[in-house]
Structure formats: structure tokens, C-alpha cells
Amino acid sequence: MKIKKGDNVIVLTGKSRGLKGKVARAMPASDRVVVEGANIAKRRQRPRKQGEKGQVLERAMPLSVSNVALFCSHCDKGVRVGYKVTSGSKVRICRACKREI
């Protein structure tokens, strides 16, 4: 999976299309990512202690990694990722402008 935690991505499809955000969690086993502020769903939480009230929480739900693209600040758009080996270290590059991400 080419997208990691902390990357800036843009959502390509779905109800959050066009939204830019940071990857909060990457799940490579299921090819999914959680993007902050994208794909928000309401989840009910039951009261845990005596006298406490239940509440409705808004949570960012996982998206398929195929529905997001890495956002390149140089190109100012979502781009595909390539790799380049420089002096023994492997770095990710933008396929459009060939700059390091």
C-alpha cells in the first residue's frame, strides 16, 4: 500500500469527494484508510456509568485506499505515486512532476 499514516490525501469518490485531509490510520491488511473529516458517520454510545447519559458521536469511517489519491503540493492535485532509489534509500515521488513527496 502506497499511502501511509500522516500523508495528505484527496478523496476521489463518495460523499466526501474533493475533500483534502490527513490519513489518521492506515489498514494495509484490508486496503483501507481513515481520513480525518472524511466519510463521517454517527455512532450511538450507551452510558457506561450510573447516571451518565448516552450520546451520539461522529466518527470518520474507513475508505478504500483506491478512493483516495496522494495530494502533491507542487502540482496542487491528487497524483499517483512512484518510487526512486537514491543512495540506498527508497523515496516516494510524484508521477506527474517527478518531485519527492
Best CA proximity match to 26, nearest among 54, 49, 8, 1: 1
Q: Kindly report the backbone phi and psi dihedral angles of residue 49, in degrees, each rounded to the nearest multiple of 5, phi listed first.
A: -115, 165
pLDDT band at 101 (very low <50, low <70, confident <90, very high): confident
**CA neighbor of 58 nearest in space, from 73, 44, 78:** 44
Q: Is the pLDDT of residue 90 over 90?
A: yes
- Predicted TM-score (pTM) of the model is 0.85
Tell me if 21 sits within 8 A of 11, measured CB to CB. Answer: yes
20: burial class by Cβ within 10 Å (0-12, 13-18, 19+)? Answer: middle
CATH numbers and ranges of domains, the chain: 8-94 (2.30.30.30)
For the residues 80-94, what does the mean pLDDT come to?
93
**Cα 51 from Cα 38, distance rounded (Å):** 33
Average pLDDT, the chain: 95
Does the pLDDT value for residue 54 go beyond 90? yes
pLDDT digits (tens, 9 = 90+) for 13-41: 999 999 999 999 999 999 999 999 999 99
